[in-house]
Structure 1
């Protein structure tokens, strides 16, 4: 998928790599940087994707409630912009893997 937010995408890729290596602190910082860059540039899609990346990191750290909260935030952002595919992805995250680990 072509992206209009290359810096944000680079940080998302970095977050995924650090998450794969279980370097959670660095993965979280990279995901947060992706979100912040896109948010600052007004790229709501990158903002939402960065939020979901942060949720993935928190889920990997077993911070389920925080991960679900972020997924819901991303879902709201996608919904606000009528992006049904993104909204479904965020909803699936919030009610799928994260919800199954809760309690």
Structure 2
């Protein structure tokens, strides 16, 4: 069973990384509709941050939390009150290989 869980995590890591790599700047920044920006941009950003958190959780379980530390630090500056994000950043920094 543990082997299957590892495979699922590696596939999830790959897919989450692929999705997050498609993100470019603020949500709907070049959209011409202020109504659409106001209604959806915040939800989309929240979804992006949650995907980043999921990726960090999976990388931590795989012993690779250090791979996402910089991204978490940057995102936590934009969302300093999001405790789950800051917590994950701290765990990833702690997991940074020292040798």
Per the normalisation by structure 2, the TM-score is 0.49
Higher relative contact order (CA 8 A, sep 6+): 2
Larger radius of gyration: 2
Per the normalisation by structure 1, the TM-score is 0.48
Q: Which of the two has greater helix per residue? A: 1
